[in-house]
Amino acid sequence: MTKQGVYVIKLVLSDLDNTLLPFGEPVVCEQTLQAIRELRSAGIRFAPATGRPLNDLQYFFKHDLSALDCALMCNGLLLRIDGKTVFERCFDHEDLVRIAKLVEKYPGVGLLLSDEDPQPWIIGIGDVVNWQMQHEQVFPHGYRVVNEVPRFACNKAALTCDASLADLQALHQELSETFPQFEFFNSYTDWFDVSPAGWTKADGIKILASKLGLSLDEIMVFGDGVNDIEMFDAAVHSVAVHNSVSEVHARARYHIGAAADHSVAAAFCELADAARDQRLPAFMQSA
């Protein structure tokens, strides 16, 4: 906080799906890209904070690499500063093999793994094509169905599912009991992100803060879903969009409009203008 009582925000992180990118829109719009440029011009770094890997982000941000100069990806298992990887945590290959084997008995469920190739692998799903595999926003580059888990340094693992084909409650219970070293959280409809037990986006934020020499009160986060809860608890300045789940809404310090109205982009511009004038933006004054 400055002597004038104004908080100095130096890094803004935002969840992607249904926060920065409204559901149903194929890519981040020009209004949002310009808002990110406004942040940068005001001396505020921007970073997406998402479960998605880099190749997905490049697509959604229309290959505007300036918007991805800093990024928290794979729910904090992969971090990027100044266009370079500064932290990476990978899954053990044998654990992934065992997960793929388990999901084979659940129709329409596959283990998704991503590397630098735009098309992720899907293992264990057999010949079934679930509804997500037909959705461009879920798989913007398509996918590759294979029978065996490939060997590579993997920091993105998830389960693509279809509740009309399999009992997802039973799946989650069996996964949690069989693999206590992991957490399987339902971040979106018929989708489970996989993370090491106890690891969340908040861990990634703390590492980014340390590497950038920032305190947590110099960081602002935007989000909507259950995989944003821990980063809302960690951050001093948390902002929920109107369409956020109740748990996120309750934890947020500030509240703005819905993702569908591009409210995050508007908040970015408001924050940039306020930083230049050394004042609080309106959405922070209402807290």
pLDDT-based confidence at 190, cuts 50/70/90? very high
Q: Are residues 223 and 269 in the same domain?
A: yes
* 120 plus 261 within the same structural domain: no
Please give the pLDDT value at position 5. Answer: 53
Give the mean model confidence (pLDDT) for residues 256-277. 97
User: Whole-number mean pLDDT of the chain?
Assistant: 94
Reported as a pLDDT band with limits 50, 70 and 90, residue 6 is low
Confidence check: pLDDT of 12 > 60: yes
Mark whether 182 and 238 lie in a shared domain. Answer: no
CA-based nearest residue to 183, from 142, 230, 137, 147: 230
Residue type, 207: I
* Residue 38 is assigned to a structural domain of this protein: yes
Residue 176 lies in a domain: yes
Task: Return d(Cα 3, Cα 153) in angstroms, integer.
Answer: 47
Residues 104 and 75 grouped into a single domain: no
Q: Tell me, what's the pLDDT at 189?
A: 87
Q: Tell which of 151, 174, 196 closes a domain.
A: 196
Q: Is the pLDDT of residue 212 over 60?
A: yes
For residue 14, give every residue at least 6 positions away whose Cβ sits within 8 Å of its Cβ, in sequence order, or none.
20, 46, 47, 48, 49, 221, 222, 223, 264
Per-position DSSP letters for 232-273, written without gaps between them: HHH-SEEEE-TT--HHHHHH-SEE---GGGTHHHHHHHHHHH
Is 190 domain-assigned?
yes
β pairing state of 254-255 and 78-81: unpaired
* Range with lowest mean pLDDT among 28-32, 109-113, 283-287: 283-287
5 within a domain of the structure (yes/no)? no
Highest mean pLDDT out of 37-46, 134-143, 185-194: 37-46
20-53, pLDDT tens digit by residue? 999 889 999 999 999 999 999 999 999 999 999 9
Of the residues 138, 165, 196, the one at which a domain ends:
196
Query: Looking at the domain assignment, is residue 3 inside a domain?
Result: no
Percent of the chain with pLDDT over 90: 87
What is the predicted pLDDT for the residue at 195? 95
CATH number, domain at 44?
3.40.50.1000
Asked whether 12 and 43 are in contact (CB, 8 A), the reply is no
List, for residues 62-105, the tens digit of each pLDDT value.
Answer: 999 999 999 999 999 999 999 999 999 999 999 999 999 999 99
Split into its structural domains, the chain has a count of 2
Range scoring the smallest mean pLDDT among 3-12, 189-198, 264-273:
3-12
135 is in which domain, residue-wise? 100-196
Average pLDDT over residues 144-170: 96
Are residues 204 and 276 both part of a single domain?
yes
Which of 162, 196, 230 marks a domain boundary?
196
Are 57 and 145 within one domain?
A: no
Which pLDDT belongs to residue 115?
A: 87
Q: Are residues 78 and 213 in the same domain?
A: yes
Of 69, 39, 47, the residue nearest 275 (C-alpha): 39
1 belongs to a structural domain: no
Residue 287 has pLDDT above 70, yes or no: no
Q: Do 118 and 181 fall into the same domain?
A: yes
Residue 6 lies in a domain: no
Residue 4: per-residue pLDDT: 47
Predicted confidence at residue 57, as pLDDT, reads 94
- d(CA 11, CA 239) in angstroms, rounded, equals 13
